[in-house]
Each structure stands twice: as structure tokens, then as C-alpha cells.
Amino acid sequence: MADNRSEIPQTMHELADQQLKQAHAAYDQITTHITNAMSVWMTAIPSNPITVGLKDVQNRAMEISKQNAESAFLLAGKIVNAKTLQEVLTLQTQFAQEQMQAYATQTQELYKLIGETAQKLQRGRSLH
């Protein structure tokens, strides 16, 4: 056992690392299946301006989801390697701050993309 009570034992690091790798592999499988299912679903829908716009929004939302999940896995990896509980708390605080900024940027980006799609639809309707 560790000499300092605030240190995290090596066996816990090893167990957490193994579980993190398993969780990441499961996440990768699920993501692949969801991406494939969404692709099949979108190709089954007849192409029109609405579906093209929705596909753009959907693709970007999936990219954002993957980025956020990868950020969480990176945090988990750092936590697995943290030596003390204080280090874990510091990592979590930094992650929360960074993710809140990322969420704000991502939300703005999605709203902009949705707005652009809506404008394209309006222009398409006014031409007919």
C-alpha cells in the first residue's frame, strides 16, 4: 500500500486502466454501429433540400458527440494515472471548464448550421 494516505494504490491504477480500455473499445463498437445505421437510414430517404440539410446537421452533431466522448476518455486516462486525489480533483475541474467552453462553441456552430440550412430551404421555396 502507498505510504501517503492521499496516494492512489497502483492496483487501483491498473484496474481502472483495464476498465477504461474495455469501455473505450465498447464505445468504439457502439459508435460504429450507430454511424452505419444512420448512414443506411439517410440513404433510404429520398434526397431533397431538407434531407441534405439534415444530413449536414446530423454529421456535425455526430462529430461533436465523438469529440466530446474522446475528451471524456482523455480525462479518464489522466485520472487513471493521477497519483493523488487532489490531482484527480484538479483534472476534473479543468475538464469541466474546458468542456463548458467547448459546449458553448459547439452549440453556436450547430445553430449556425441549422440557420444556414433553413435559409437554403427558404431560398429554394422562393424560387418555385
Tens of pLDDT, residue by residue over 81-123, are 999 999 999 999 999 999 999 999 999 999 999 998 888 888 7
Tell me if 48 is assigned to some domain. Answer: yes
Residue carrying C-alpha cell 450547430: 110
Give the model's confidence band at 5: pLDDT under 50 very low, under 70 low, under 90 confident, else very high. low
Tell me if 97 is assigned to some domain. Answer: yes
102: which 3 cell numbers? 467547448
Segment 23-32 shows an average pLDDT of: 89
Collapse the DSSP code of 84 into the 3-class scheme (helix H, G, I; strand E, B; otherwise coil) and give the result.
Answer: strand
CA pair distance 63, 44, nearest whole angstrom: 21
Tell me if 5 is assigned to some domain. Answer: no
Tell me if 53 is assigned to some domain. Answer: yes
**Alpha helices, H only, the chain:** 10-44, 49-81, 85-127
Q: How many separate domains does the chain show?
A: 1
Tell me if 18 is assigned to some domain. Answer: yes
Tell me if 63 is assigned to some domain. Answer: yes
Q: Domain of residue 25: give its range.
A: 10-127
Tell me: the pLDDT tens digits for 8-21? 888 887 888 889 88
CA pair distance 14, 26, nearest whole angstrom: 19
**Single-letter amino acid code for the residue at 123:** R
CA pair distance 116, 113, nearest whole angstrom: 5
**Single-letter amino acid code for the residue at 59:** N
Asked if the model's pLDDT at residue 2 lies above 70, the reply is no
Q: Other C-beta atoms within 10 Å of 35: how many?
A: 13
Tell me if 2 is assigned to some domain. Answer: no
Asked if the model's pLDDT at residue 128 lies above 60, the reply is no
Tell me: the pLDDT tens digits for 38-82? 888 778 877 777 777 788 888 899 999 999 999 999 999 999 999
Tell me if 3 is assigned to some domain. Answer: no
Angle at 78 between CA 13 and CA 6, to 5 degrees: 55
